[in-house]
C-alpha cells in the first residue's frame, strides 16, 4: 500500500459511495461504510490509535498534540459520499501526466469533452498531472480529494516531530450531498473548537460565507363557482397564482443573478379554482436582503390581488439556514490563519462565498465554527470532473501550515 495523496485519492474514488436522498436509513447507503471502514483501517495502520467509525457511519480520529502550549483543538472534515446526480459505480480514473493544454476527450465516452473554453482553470494546469474520469461516471474528487488530503497531512503531522501542533481532529461524514451530513455528528465526542471542511474548488480559495435562506409560502383563496354561471364573479386562484409568478422580476431570479446578488425562486405550485399555494425559496447573503425580497413578493401579491375583490392571500415565511459568516466573524482568526496558511503553501489566497448552504454553515450554527478550504476539484457532480495532483499537494501543505499556525499563535 502506497500513501502519497494521489495514491490515496485513486484508491478512494474507485469505491462507490453514492448517497441516496430517498433512503430513510443512516447512512442513506450502506456502501458509504465500505470507504469509512477502509479509512479506519488505514488510519489505525498509520498509528492513529483512536480511529473509529461509529454506528452512524462517521469516522473520528485524533492527531495528538506534540506541544506544551494550550492550542485550540481544530478539526479537518470532508465527506465520503458522492452526489446522486451522476453514477459513481465503477469509476476508472484516468491520469494525464504533464498536461500540455487543450481540450480533453474522455476515453470511455468520446462525446464527453472537457473544453478549455468552459473550464478556463485548465489554463493554470499546464505541466501538471490531471486526473479525470473515463466519461461514464463522476470522479468523486468532491470530496475524496478532501479525504486524501486530510489523511496525508495527518500522517505528516503524526510522524514529523519538527512541526509543533495542538491536537487535530479528523472527521469524515456520510450523506453531505443529500443535506444530512451533520445530522448525526457527535460534536461532544469530536471535541474541537474550530473546524475546516476541505470541500472547495480552485486551489487558494477559502470560503467563509454562505447564503442565508428562507422558505416562503403564498396561500391564495379565490372565489369558486360553476363555470357556466361565472361571468363577472369567478376569481380563479390558479390564475391569480400565475399572475404573481409572472410578475417576479428577472433580475431577482436565479437565472438572472450571480456573485453576491440574492434571488426569489418559485419551487412549487399547487392549486384549484378555490385555493392555490406557491412555494418559493429566498436567498441572500444578508438577512436584511432576505427581508427586502420578502417585502417585494408581498407587494407583488398585494398588487395582483387588488384586482380580485373577493379573493385574499397569506404569506408564511420559514427560516431555513443562515450565512455562516455571522458565526465566523466572532472568531476572525479561523479565516485569517487559513489565508496565511494558503500563502505559506505558495498560493495567492482568494476569499469566496458560496451561493448555497454547506455542512460548514450547519456546523457553525451547531457550535463548531467552520470555514471551507479548497480541495482542488472542478466540475463537481458530473462526468467532466477533474483535479490535479499538484493542487491536492497544495491542499496537503495548507493543512500542515494551518496546524503549525494555530500552535505558533497560541
Ligand atoms: Zn462536497
Q: What does the pLDDT average to over 286-315?
A: 98
- Would you place residue 12 in the very low, low, confident or very high pLDDT band (cuts 50, 70, 90)? very high
Does the pLDDT value for residue 221 go beyond 60?
yes
CA of residue 145 to ligand 1 center, whole Å: 10
pLDDT digits (tens, 9 = 90+) for 169-194: 999 999 999 989 999 999 999 999 99
CA of residue 246 to ligand 1 center, whole Å: 35
N-to-C CA span, the chain: 37
Q: What is the pLDDT of residue 320?
A: 87
Q: Which of 79, 63, 87 is nearest to 12 (CA)?
A: 79
Q: What is the pLDDT of residue 356?
A: 85
Contact by Cβ (8 Å): 293, 252: yes
Q: What is the DSSP string of 332-355?
A: THHHHHHHHHHHHTT---EEEEES
Dist CA 34 CA 236 (whole Å): 54
Whole-number percent of the chain with pLDDT over 70: 100
CA of residue 79 to ligand 1 center, whole Å: 7
For the annotated catalytic residues, the residue numbers are 81, 176
Q: Which of 202, 188, 168 is nearest to 61 (CA)?
A: 168
* Neighbour-count burial of 258, counting CB atoms closer than 10 A to its CB (0-12 exposed, 13-18 middle, 19+ buried): exposed
Dist CA 176 CA 32 (whole Å): 11
Rg of the chain (C-alpha set): 24
Q: What does the pLDDT average to over 209-213?
A: 94
pTM tops 0.85: yes
Does the pLDDT value for residue 1 go beyond 60?
no
pLDDT digits (tens, 9 = 90+) for 320-363: 889 999 999 999 999 999 999 999 999 999 999 998 888 898 99
Instruction: Supply 84's cell numbers.
Output: 446522486
> Residue 346's CB: how many other CB atoms inside 10 A?
12
CA of residue 203 to ligand 1 center, whole Å: 15
Q: What is the pLDDT of residue 359?
A: 85
Q: What is the pLDDT of residue 195?
A: 98
pLDDT digits (tens, 9 = 90+) for 248-293: 999 999 999 999 999 999 999 999 999 999 999 999 999 999 999 9
- Bridge-based pairing of strands 212-221 and 59-63 is unpaired
CA of residue 141 to ligand 1 center, whole Å: 8
pLDDT digits (tens, 9 = 90+) for 49-99: 999 999 999 999 999 999 999 999 999 999 999 999 999 999 999 999 999
Contact by Cβ (8 Å): 208, 351: yes
CA of residue 197 to ligand 1 center, whole Å: 9
What is the overall mean pLDDT for the chain? Answer: 96
Whole-number percent of the chain with pLDDT over 90: 96
Q: How far is CA 182 from CA 99, 201, 260, in A?
A: 37, 21, 26
Does the pLDDT value for residue 148 go beyond 80?
yes
Amino acid at each position: 500500500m502506497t500513501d502519497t495523496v494521489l495514491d490515496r485519492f485513486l484508491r478512494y474514488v474507485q469505491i462507490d459511495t453514492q448517497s441516496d436522498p430517498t433512503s430513510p436509513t443512516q447512512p442513506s447507503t450502506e456502501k458509504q461504510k465500505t470507504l469509512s471502514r477502509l479509512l479506519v483501517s488505514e488510519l489505525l495502520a498509520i498509528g492513529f490509535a483512536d480511529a473509529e467509525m461509529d454506528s452512524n457511519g462517521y469516522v473520528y480520529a485524533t492527531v495528538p498534540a506534540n506541544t506544551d502550549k494550550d492550542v485550540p483543538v481544530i478539526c479537518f472534515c470532508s465527506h465520503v459520499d458522492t452526489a446522486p446526480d451522476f453514477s459513481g459505480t465503477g469509476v476508472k480514473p484516468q491520469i494525464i501526466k504533464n498536461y500540455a493544454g487543450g481540450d480533453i476527450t474522455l476515453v470511455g465516452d468520446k462525446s464527453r469533452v472537457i473544453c478549455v473554453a468552459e473550464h478556463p482553470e485548465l489554463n493554470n494546469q499546464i505541466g501538471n498531472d490531471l486526473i479525470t474520469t473515463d466519461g461514464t461516471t463522476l470522479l468523486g474528487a468532491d470530496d475524496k480529494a478532501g479525504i486524501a488530503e486530510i489523511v496525508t497531512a495527518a500522517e505528516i503531522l503524526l510522524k514529523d516531530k519538527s512541526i509543533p501542533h495542538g491536537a487535530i481532529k479528523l472527521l469524515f461524514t456520510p450523506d453531505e450531498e443529500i443535506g444530512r451530513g451533520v445530522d448525526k455528528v457527535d460534536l461532544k465526542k469530536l471535541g474541537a473548537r474550530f473546524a475546516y471542511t476541505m470541500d472547495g474548488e480552485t486551489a487558494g480559495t477559502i470560503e467563509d460565507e454562505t447564503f442565508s435562506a428562507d422558505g416562503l409560502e403564498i396561500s391564495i383563496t379565490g372565489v369558486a363557482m360553476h363555470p357556466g354561471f361565472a361571468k363577472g364573479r369567478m376569481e380563479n386562484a390558479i390564475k391569480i397564482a400565475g399572475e404573481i409568478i409572472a410578475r417576479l422580476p428577472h433580475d431577482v431570479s436565479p437565472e438572472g443573478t450571480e456573485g453576491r446578488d440574492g434571488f426569489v425562486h418559485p419551487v412549487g405550485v399547487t392549486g384549484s379554482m378555490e385555493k392555490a399555494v406557491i412555494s418559493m425559496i429566498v436567498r441572500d447573503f444578508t438577512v436584511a436582503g432576505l427581508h427586502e425580497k420578502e417585502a417585494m413578493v408581498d407587494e407583488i401579491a398585494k398588487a395582483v390581488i387588488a384586482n380580485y375583490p373577493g379573493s385574499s392571500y397569506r404569506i408564511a415565511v420559514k427560516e431555513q439556514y443562515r450565512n455562516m459568516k455571522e458565526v465566523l466573524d466572532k472568531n476572525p482568526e479561523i479565516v485569517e490563519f487559513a489565508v496565511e496558511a494558503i500563502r505559506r503553501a505558495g498560493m495567492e489566497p482568494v476569499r469566496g462565498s458560496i451561493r448555497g448552504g454547506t455542512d460548514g454553515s450547519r456546523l457553525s450554527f451547531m457550535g463548531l465554527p467552520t470555514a471551507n478550504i479548497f480541495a482542488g476539484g472542478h466540475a463537481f457532480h458530473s462526468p467532466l470532473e477533474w483535479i490535479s495532483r499538484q493542487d491536492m499537494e497544495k491542499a496537503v501543505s495548507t493543512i500542515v501550515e494551518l496546524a503549525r499556525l494555530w500552535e505558533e499563535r497560541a
